[in-house]
Chain A
Amino acid sequence: DAGVTQSPTHLIKTRGQQVTLRCSPKSGHDTVSWYQQALGQGPQFIFQYYEEEERQRGNFPDRFSGHQFPNYSSELNVNALLLGDSALYLCASSGRRQGGSNQPQHFGDGTRLSIL
């Protein structure tokens, strides 16, 4: 049973460029969340997608956008990259909501994005 998979594992970009990160959720999961983890910090919530729509968004600028496809996979797009966008970007998936919003989230290994 494949877990959450993310691609690429590492990426190097320069300031001002645009980047797209990809995520395939765990089998049976339909909800995808994205987090940014700066070095030495806890993950910070970017947004969550459910039924191909953004359901909740954290405190991130509009340069961060996303998409969810009919097969539940997701993309994270970041435009006009800044040095401060250098971080580990984590994707997490969770199962179909049955009893509430507290379904455990399962994480991928992340994409390490470095901005030069």
Chain B
Amino acid sequence: GNSVTQMEGPVTLSEEAFLTINCTYTATGYPSLFWYVQYPGEGLQLLLKATKADDKGSNKGFEATYRKETTSFHLEKGSVQVSDSAVYFCALSGGSNYKLTFGKGTLLTVNP
């Protein structure tokens, strides 16, 4: 079945530091890949997505590239802000499989 593995946190950075959160996946066929963000006490918000190999999703300074050869979808941001502190989830869905399969989440804390 489908599965997502993302780097375990927590990750603590200083403001303006570079962020990478690793995500790899196992899936049959050609899944779509997503990053969701969850702020304290809230639901999940879609951050970015990519639907085919070599696609780059981007939003609010975050980027991730769909790498089929390495089955990866790493999240990056060049300069994080305190307001980026949240839990980040990598997820996939694909083919006739309507559900989203999530990783365990990575807690990011950005200090001023």
**Residue positions of A touching B, CB distance < 8 A:** 4, 31, 33, 35, 40-45, 48, 55-56, 58, 90, 92, 101-102, 104-110
Q: Which of B32, B98, B103 has the most CB of A within 10 A?
A: B98
**Residue positions of B touching A, CB distance < 8 A:** 4, 31-32, 34, 36, 41-46, 49, 51, 89, 91, 93-105
For residue B89, which residues in chain A have a CB less than 8 angstroms away from its CB? Answer: 42-43
Closest partner residue, chain B, to A41 (CB atom): B104
* Bound Cα distance from A102 to B42, whole angstroms: 23
B43 with A33: CB separation less than 8 A:
no
B32 with A90: CB separation less than 8 A:
no
A42-B89, A42-B103, A42-B104 known; A106-B46 Cβ under 8 A: yes
* Bound Cα distance from A45 to B105, whole angstroms: 15
Chain B interface main SS type: strand
* Bound Cα distance from A92 to B46, whole angstroms: 11
A45-B100, A56-B99 known; A90-B105 Cβ under 8 A: no
Closest partner residue, chain B, to A42 (CB atom): B102
Q: Which of B36, B42, B99 has the most CB of A within 10 A?
A: B99
Shortest CB-to-CB span from B86 to chain A, Å, is 14
B97 with A107: CB separation less than 8 A:
no
Shortest CB-to-CB span from B105 to chain A, Å, is 5
Beyond the given A42-B102, A56-B99, please list 19 additional residue pairs across the A-B interface where CB-CB is below 8 A: A4-B43, A33-B100, A35-B100, A40-B104, A41-B105, A42-B89, A42-B104, A43-B89, A43-B100, A43-B102, A44-B102, A90-B43, A101-B93, A101-B96, A104-B49, A105-B100, A106-B46, A107-B44, A109-B43
* Bound Cα distance from A75 to B14, whole angstroms: 43
For residue B104, which residues in chain A have a CB less than 8 angstroms away from its CB? Answer: 40-42
B43 with A104: CB separation less than 8 A:
no
* Bound Cα distance from A16 to B72, whole angstroms: 43
